Structures are given as C-alpha cells and as structure tokens.
Chains A and B, each alone.
Chain A
C-alpha cells in the first residue's frame, strides 16, 4: 500500500492535444479515490500515467515519496482492472489470476493457495476453471478483479471496471468492490464517467474537465458545495438546473430576463450580479416547484415563467421537464400531479435553495441548501 502524489502532471499527445494540464493530487494510503469526468476530460490519461502505461510529459508521480515516472508498470507494482478485454481469452480463470504470480516465480503450492483465497473472497471459486470466453461479462470482470488483488499491489487502478455491465450487475459489483477495498485497505483509484458510481464508492474524488481538475473533495462536499457550474451540472443523480439572467433592473434590481422571459428575483440574488447586470443562478431539481396559473407563489422566491415539455411519473415521484424559452430545466416533485403538454407554469425556487455562480468564470459564489457560503476551491489555487 502506498501514498500517491501527483505533481504538476502534464500529458501531451503530439503538438496539438494537451490531455492533462497541471494536475496536483494527493491520495492517502488506503484511500479509495475517484477520477470523474466526461469523456475527453483526461481522467483516463491520468490513470494510465499512474499505472505506467503512458509516459508522463511533464511533472512527477510519487509513491510513498519516491518518484516512479521512470519505472515501468511491473516495477511500480500496481494492479489494474480494465474496462473490457482484459482477461487473457486463451487461459482459464485460474491461469489468469495466477499469471502475475507466475511471472514473478511464485512457488506452485503458494500460488494455488493465493488463487484459492482470492477466488473465495470474490465468490468465483466455482467458475475459475472455465476459459474466459465461457464466462459472462460480470464473471470475467470478477476474475479480472481477482487477478488484480491476488498480489497485494501498491496501488489498484480501476479503469471503468463496471461501465459496460448491465444496471443490476453494476449496482452489485459497486457494493462488492467497495467492501473489498475497505477490507483490504488497498490504495485504489477508479476512473469513471458515472457520478453515481463515484458518489457511492469513493472516499474522495476529483472532477476533471478538459484536462484540468475542477474540484477535489468527498462526494458530499462536491455534491453540496460544487466549485463551479460545470461540477454542479455534472455531479449528482440529476443535473443541476442553471438559469442565466440578464438586464437586471426594476426597483432594488429584482426583475431580470431569462431567455427573454421576465423573472422576479429573490432579494439575495442581486449581490451576485456582474457589473453588466448578468446573473447565473442554479438549483437542484428537487428544489424546483411549479405553480399553475392563479396559484400563489411564496414570498421572496425566484419566479420564472415556463411551460411543461413533458411530465413523467416515476413511482411516487414526478419528473417534469420544462422549457424556459430555449432553455430546458427539470423538476423533481414529491407528489403526483397531472400536467398537460405545453401547459404554462411558473417555476419557483426558495431563496435558500439557490446557488449563485459568477456569470463569467462560472465559479460558485454562493451555495444553496446544504452548503454555506465559503471560498470556492479554485479560488484557493486549484
């Protein structure tokens, strides 16, 4: 097990692609760390540099304080679970799991004992004598995890290990991986594009975009106190709603236009407006409420006219997709309600639930419910 540090890490492919830009991270010994971002954000490049599969363009990687950039994957003693196609198809599960031991010259009986142990742990003892091709995707991935765990590595790298499995299996393996990681206390880094995966499994995670770190923190911190509008939109089961306003005017500056629609702002909003009268507010779908024509809106809330695009009943909840001009927004309502298509409604958000972002840089200026105002991370140098 090791503590891992990334210092000013850069990755360039040729002269044109700058995949990873100046990434600094510290991953504690035994921590389950996530790298989250959309495709092309550079998260996989970071992981592959950690594993030694790709050369570092600039910067340094330290395991327990010692630089490893000049070392090959085998010298770093890391293990990796790949997205797919990682089991050697011509070997049985047992041979696959034993391979890293075999190339290190482990004695036969010890090899057998270690393989049996890890197979037991992952509940795959009954199928490890099959060839990889005779296993289902989930079984293959379990064997791949067993192969990674069989020799206690310094670092376990997981590259979207469950992304291509079906939903049910994904949920189960998510839990299993988390339990295993806790039980073994192994420093682990997982790359994923799925916020739910990152939220449920990791101790801490980094959100990346265009090769840059956006925010580092625990899942709760990132959910409640996103550093900027991108993180707020990307991280969460449902994307955060964002409303850009302009032309702040009226008495006390409480009237503004969003997509050409006139909106009434809560009192707190105006202090986050830019000098040219622009404002960027956000709220989680659960904080958005809908009023029909004639229904009274609560005092001091954000009020914005829109219309229903489609309303979907999901169990006891109501997922309503709305349109404000060209902009689309989502509301998650706790009780069943009938809405007609294109029905005009007023969107309202309690002032306390509103997030505010800098309309230019999109950095968070104010956190809504669940978060207090504070210094956004990027302003502190990240």
Chain B
C-alpha cells in the first residue's frame, strides 16, 4: 500500500489506454448503429421544417403569381386576429378536453364490464377493438352512410318511431356533436385496452383482501380500483390528448369542416388554407402555431399529471 500511488502512476498510465480504447470503440459502434436512423429522422424533420418556417414568414401563395416577399410575422398576426383561428382552436379544444374525457369514462365502463365477466374476455376485447383498427377514412364512410338523413338506417328507424331526427353531420347544430361522437366511437377502444392492462396488473389478492375486509363493491372501486388505475388513466389521457390534434380524416369525409366552419379544427383549417386556397404562408404559420399549442398543452397536461401523481402518493402514505 505504501508505494501504490506512485506505482499506479508509473505503471498505470500506459495500461489505462486499453480501457479507454475499449470505451471509445464501444462509443463509436453505438453511433454507427444509431447513425442511419438518426440521420434519416433529422433530415426528414429539419428539411421540411425549414420550408415551413420559410413559408410562414413570406407571402407564399401558389394560386396568385405575385413575387414571394418576406412579410415578417404578418401571417401570424393576421391569423391570431382572425375569428376563424379562434373558432378552430375552440373546436380542437373540444376534441382534446371534451371528447377525451368522454372516451375515458366510456372506456373505463367498458373495461370494467369486460373485466367483470369470467369468460370470453379476450373475445370481447378483440371485437370492441375493431373501430380503432379501421382506417379513419372507412370509419368516416360507414358513419356517413349510417347517418344519412334520407336513406340512412338510423334516421329511417327513428322516423319509424314517429320522431323527427336531425340531419346529423349536415345540420349546423348537430354536425360538431356528430363528429365528436364518431371520434369517441373510434378511440374509446384504445382507452379501454389501456385500462384493461391496468386492471390486469391489479393482483387478484387485492380484491380478495378487500372482500375479506368487508368492503362493498362501490367502496372497492373507489378506494382500490380507481387509485390503482390512476396511472393508466393518465397515460390514456396524455396519449389521446396528443392524438386529438390529429383529427382530420373523419372531418374531411363527414363534413368538410362545415356546415360553415362549425366543424373546422386547427388541422382542417390548416389544410383548407394550404390546399384549397393555396395560402402557404398563412398555412405554414398556422402549422407552427399548432405545434406550439400542442407542446404547451402537453406540457401543462404532463405537469398536472405529475402533480396529481404526487398528490396521490401523499394521500396513500
């Protein structure tokens, strides 16, 4: 031990190299393995984004043969002053903050119901999953036909019951609820399956212990099932919140944003600006605004979820 520090310095310095070399070789192989995928993703993210940024600060219009000019933040200010922006933001918010909680409520009910039967759980789970497996385009069709005011089966059945049903997607009052309903129909299965995973993770002994302790089914649900499902509910909420910004296909097929602009969310407004009116400057600016809204919204949701989880832990202990 006496001479060891000097020894280590003398003998150690040439011997340290192999370890460093091994570490360097490992780091090099790591980046070689990652490089193709990362490079692809970076190029495919950055290059179009550069165009997007460029367009959003110019008067880029495909339809009008005027020279492209730099207009600063004009596109942004004009959008933010327009009524359409705020109404489509509101409709996006309805998808994120009304449709998603409804999906969670219905999904929770379905998951509990499926979990409560002794047999054929996987059979039910598979069939209830069908809506989310289908292309949104096909979903749009099926509902368009089903809800057709004239020859659709639903309205003719309702008329048969002496009711006067609305024109659903074609009615100014009912178009938005209809689209929201279709969104709930398509994406509740995802929530259901996440919560089924959560229910499965609760050990059977927990329920048995609760029963032995004399807890009623309602108490068991409130005091045991719900707290243990909470993290899964958070995951479902965050996933669906983020995905709610993607709603487009069903609107395109069912309403084209109409009647008027009553079902036009941010995504459809962007599409309309860009590809019906060819105002790429404005459409680019709206894309960027949307990204900011999504990031801010998701951060708020995640922060709230984290605080909620912290609070839960506090309550448990």
Interface, chain A (partner B; CB < 8 A): 8, 22, 55-60, 67, 69-70
Interface, chain B (partner A; CB < 8 A): 4, 7-8, 11-12, 15-19, 21-23
Rounded to whole angstroms, the CA-CA distance of A60 and B18 in the bound complex is: 9
Using known A-B contacts A55-B23, A58-B12, determine if residue A69 contacts B18 with beta carbons closer than 8 Å: yes
- Residues in A with CB closer than 8 Å to B18 are 55-56, 67, 69-70
- Residues in A with CB closer than 8 Å to B23 are 55
Nearest-Cβ distance from residue A5 to partner chain B, whole angstroms? 13
Chain A residue with minimal CB distance to B21?
A70
- Residues in A with CB closer than 8 Å to B15 are 56, 58-60, 69
Interface centre among B18, B21, B22 (most CB of A within 10 A): B18
Nearest-Cβ distance from residue B126 to partner chain A, whole angstroms? 28
A–B complex contacts, Cβ < 8 Å, 15 sampled? A8-B11, A8-B12, A22-B4, A55-B19, A56-B15, A56-B18, A56-B19, A58-B8, A58-B12, A58-B16, A58-B19, A60-B15, A69-B18, A70-B17, A70-B22
Nearest-Cβ distance from residue B23 to partner chain A, whole angstroms? 6
Interface centre among B4, B11, B22, B23 (most CB of A within 10 A): B22
Chain B residue with minimal CB distance to A54?
B22
Chain A residue with minimal CB distance to B16?
A58
Rounded to whole angstroms, the CA-CA distance of A214 and B16 in the bound complex is: 25
Nearest-Cβ distance from residue A377 to partner chain B, whole angstroms? 15
Chain A residue with minimal CB distance to B15?
A60
Chain A residue with minimal CB distance to B23?
A55
- Residues in B with CB closer than 8 Å to A22 are 4
- Residues in A with CB closer than 8 Å to B11 are 8
Rounded to whole angstroms, the CA-CA distance of A55 and B11 in the bound complex is: 17
Chain B residue with minimal CB distance to A71?
B18
- Residues in B with CB closer than 8 Å to A56 are 15, 18-19
Nearest-Cβ distance from residue A49 to partner chain B, whole angstroms? 10
Rounded to whole angstroms, the CA-CA distance of A69 and B11 in the bound complex is: 14
- Residues in B with CB closer than 8 Å to A69 are 15, 18-19
Nearest-Cβ distance from residue A100 to partner chain B, whole angstroms? 22
Residue from the list B4, B7, B22 in contact with A55, Cβ < 8 A: B22
Rounded to whole angstroms, the CA-CA distance of A67 and B18 in the bound complex is: 10
Chain B residue with minimal CB distance to A8?
B11
Nearest-Cβ distance from residue B64 to partner chain A, whole angstroms? 62
Chain B residue with minimal CB distance to A59?
B15
- Residues in A with CB closer than 8 Å to B16 are 58
- Residues in B with CB closer than 8 Å to A70 are 17-18, 21-22
Nearest-Cβ distance from residue A45 to partner chain B, whole angstroms? 13
Nearest-Cβ distance from residue B210 to partner chain A, whole angstroms? 37
In the A-B complex, the 9 residue pairs with the smallest Cβ-Cβ separation, listed nearest first, are A55-B22, A69-B18, A70-B18, A55-B19, A58-B12, A56-B19, A60-B15, A57-B19, A55-B23
Rounded to whole angstroms, the CA-CA distance of A55 and B16 in the bound complex is: 10
- Residues in B with CB closer than 8 Å to A59 are 12, 15
- Residues in B with CB closer than 8 Å to A8 are 7-8, 11-12
Rounded to whole angstroms, the CA-CA distance of A103 and B128 in the bound complex is: 49
Rounded to whole angstroms, the CA-CA distance of A22 and B23 in the bound complex is: 21
Nearest-Cβ distance from residue B282 to partner chain A, whole angstroms? 52
Rounded to whole angstroms, the CA-CA distance of A8 and B5 in the bound complex is: 12
Nearest-Cβ distance from residue B22 to partner chain A, whole angstroms? 4
Nearest-Cβ distance from residue A355 to partner chain B, whole angstroms? 26
Nearest-Cβ distance from residue A352 to partner chain B, whole angstroms? 35
